[in-house]
Amino acid sequence: MTKSIFIDGASGTTGLEIADRLAGRAEFTLITLDDDKRKDPAAKREALNDADFVILCLPDDAAKEAVAMTTSSHTRIIDASTAHRVNPNWAYGFPEYRTGQHERIANARLVSNPGCYPTGFLGLVAPLVAAGLIPADWPYSVNAVSGYSGGGKALIERFEGGDGADIGFRTYGLDLNHKHVAEMQQHAGLGLAPIFSPAVVRAFRGMVVEIPLPISVMPGSDDPDEMRAALSLHYAKSPVVKVHEDAPPAELLIRADQAPSDRLDLYVLGSPDGAQVRLLAMLDNLGKGASGAAVQNLNIMAGLDETIGLRL
């Protein structure tokens, strides 16, 4: 039997990409609202409560409102926003990051998609902390760049035509209070909040997340070969996460016209003297960082092959 899906925020950046990935899927029918009704509370309430699956692609406050409007117990929700990522009543929608999470998502009614930057950070740090190869009590730094679609319609408009049409590079989060910090700390099980330095480059999509590790002065940290081996083992069965074991690449590029991807690529790079490590994650902020993750979670919740509709 086909399941019905309502994407709330279907005409936004993340919503459109989810609809794209679901196009032609016989297992699902899409509930849609006309443009003049997409913010109409009565029309939304009906769609939210009729659907088997709701995918929220909304700003945080609107996502909380939509959850409050959904009173039907048969409706299962995937929220792409930040609103519920550290809420214990919601399953964290990152199936690969720790053992048992795939099953938690499969059985959950409420699933919160990870943020795009935390997907890169947690994909690297969470399994290494859990394996005891790097310390939980360490002030980690996270340096990251995103394509400008990461800021949704407003940042796309700014980069493509607004007052930011000449921006090449934009660092931000300068108040050291970015909304992703709590999520990174909580799901990696860290004693200290990481120092997060995000930036945007002039590419539509794509993301690099880097954690530099001065391992020679980090108590209880292991060498890069051990870290790489542990990540390879952790992700051995994943069709989505790839740990690169070959020689270090000369460079990693985000192209201005980067193709969509739902993969997560991980690198552990060590210095010649073994004193330093760079942990690196590459992903698409709109792929494994948002829409691809939502479709993967939908597949898992619906009991289907998790890769259907993904660009791997």
Ligand X SMILES: NC(=O)C1=CN([C@@H]2O[C@H](COP(=O)(O)OP(=O)(O)OC[C@H]3O[C@@H](n4cnc5c(N)ncnc54)[C@H](OP(=O)(O)O)[C@@H]3O)[C@@H](O)[C@H]2O)C=CC1
What is the DSSP secondary-structure string of 2-35?
-EEEEEETTTSHHHHHHHHHHTT-TTEEEE---G
Smallest gap from Cβ 178 to ligand X, in A, equals: 12
Marked catalytic residue, from 19, 116, 133, 293: 116
Of 46-105, binders to ligand X (CB under 6 A) are 57-60, 62, 80-82
Report the residue closest to ligand X2W, judged by CB.
Answer: 150
Q: Which is nearer to ligand X, 62 or 106 (CB)?
A: 62
Tell me the residue type at 297.
Answer: N
Q: Which residue has the tokens 């597949």?
A: 299
Q: Which of 13, 70, 146, 296 binds ligand X2W (CB under 6 A)?
A: 146
Q: Which is nearer to ligand X, 15 or 127 (CB)?
A: 15
Of 118-177, binders to ligand X (CB under 6 A) are 149-150, 152-153
57 is catalytic: no
Distance, CA of 174 to CA of 163 (rounded, Å) = 20
Q: Which is nearer to ligand X, 65 or 223 (CB)?
A: 65
Q: Is 54 helix (H, G, I), strand (E, B) or coil?
A: strand
Distance, CA of 236 to CA of 134 (rounded, Å) = 20
Distance, CA of 222 to CA of 231 (rounded, Å) = 13
Q: Which is nearer to ligand X2W, 2 or 171 (CB)?
A: 171
Could you tell me which stretch among 5-13, 150-158, 227-235, 241-249 binds ligand X2W (CB under 6 A)? 150-158
Our CA dihedral for 50, 55, 61, 62, rounded to 10 degrees, sits at -50
The entry of ligand X2W, ligand X, none that residue 200 binds, CB within 5 to 8 Å by partner kind: ligand X2W
Q: Which of 47, 54, 56, 200 binds ligand X2W (CB under 6 A)?
A: 200
Closest C-alpha to 78, from 102, 114, 45, 43: 114
Is 206 among the residues that bind ligand X2W (CB under 6 A)? no
Distance, CA of 35 to CA of 51 (rounded, Å) = 19
Write the interaction track for ligand X2W spanning residues 43-82; mark x where CB under 6 A is met and - where it is not.
Answer: --------------------------------------xx
Specify whether the CB–CB gap between 248 and 161 falls below 8 A: no
Q: Which is nearer to ligand X2W, 201 or 243 (CB)?
A: 201
How many C-alpha atoms does 234 have within 13 Å on its Cβ side? Answer: 28
Contacting residues for 97 by C-beta, under 8 A, at least 6 apart: 122, 123, 126, 127, 187
DSSP code of residue 111: E
Is 13 among the residues that bind ligand X (CB under 6 A)? yes
Residues near ligand X (CB under 6 A) are 8-9, 11-15, 38-39, 57-60, 62, 80-82, 115-116, 149-150, 152-153, 285-286, 289-290
Where does this chain bind ligand X2W (CB under 6 A)? 81-82, 115-116, 146, 150-151, 155, 180, 198, 200
Residues with a known catalytic role: 116
